[in-house]
Amino acid sequence: MNTLALCIPAYNAEAFLPRLLHSALHQLIPFDEILVYNDCSTDNTAHIAAQYGVTVLNGKVNNGCSYGKNKLAVHSTCKWLHFHDADDDLLPDFTEKVHNWLNTNAEKYDVLLLNFNYIDFETGDLLGAANYNAAELNTDALKYAISNKIVNFGVYKRQTFLEAKGFDLDPDVLYNEDNALHQRLAKHGLKFDYLPEVTCINYRYSNSMSSSNRLKCLRAQYYVMKKTAATHGKLYSKELADQLFALAPLLAAESDWPYVRKSLELCASLGNNYTVKGSSLFRFLTRLHPFAAIWLREQAIRLLKPHLRKHA
């Protein structure tokens, strides 16, 4: 039987948890388990979760989201796990659609990536959706995970998730934990599929972790790529180089010139086999000196379009 657990890492989530737990408890097919990891919250997170009758695990030290998810995976007794941030939501037919897929595919795959609507919490505007490519995931999951941003909406076979050691607890990748996870699972040979029907809602908040820690997220992305380059750099030199070169201008926008150099140096160690996008002048300068090309373009942006760098 394909049992399914909802695993919710939560830190000071009292404002959001009731909405998510209400959605979870009103699914067309009930979750077999609903577990909340309370990561040393200072508000009423644990009390609210207990009021809804779900299993609550209380951490003694604030160790972060990845640690909490791994603890939930170990504690669960279900065959399949879905991790869901407390400030996002589920559609009413989430479990029905997932079980329909499990009934046919549970023996063939280890990871099911889910589609979601990305919605601005304040305005309600639809900003986008996941729209992953199932054929490319089926063919080469690691190549796809390197080249595409995969976020925290998936269903995972518990046994193989634990065998792959789950989320990476390295603090260097903390702010890029989803990419780190999916690359790790793909490296361990887990098989990926994709459900194109929308099952979740991912809310954008103006004060979200990623928007409040832009530079940390970018540096974490570098370290994720560095880890994969160390293990699979020869196989995926083009894909890794593309990501590293694309990362360098984003770091430049944050004035993080040491990490611009780190990204370009790692890119060079992979053979500088990357695609350059931009003006013909920028492409020409990049062929001569990548760091100088990025530095000059960043100075031009700050001079001619300073409104694009107000946060810097």
Whether the predicted model's global pTM rises above the 0.85 cut: yes
CB 153 within 8 A of CB 116: yes
Round to whole Å and give the CA distance between 138 and 192.
Answer: 6
What's residue 212's pLDDT? 72
Q: What is the pLDDT of residue 179?
A: 96
| pLDDT of res. 98 | 98
pLDDT value, residue 210 = 63
pLDDT the model gives residue 63: 92
What is the structure's pLDDT at 206? Answer: 81
Q: Return the pLDDT at 273.
A: 86
Q: How much is the pLDDT for 272?
A: 83
The answer for residues whose C-beta is within 8 angstroms of residue 214's C-beta and 6 or more apart is 254, 311
Task: Report pLDDT for 189.
Answer: 97
Q: Mean pLDDT per segment of 10 residues, for the chain of length 312 residues?
A: 96 96 97 97 95 95 95 98 97 98 97 96 92 96 97 96 97 96 98 97 82 90 98 97 97 97 97 89 93 96 86 53
- Residue the block writes with tokens 């300073």: 306
Helices 237-253 + 290-304 axis angle, to 10: 40
Are 261 and 290 contacting, i.e. CB atoms less than 8 angstroms apart?
A: no
User: What domains, with CATH codes, occur in the chain?
Assistant: 4-210 (3.90.550.10), 213-309 (no CATH)
Based on DSSP, count helices (H) and strands (E) in the chain, helices before strands.
14, 9
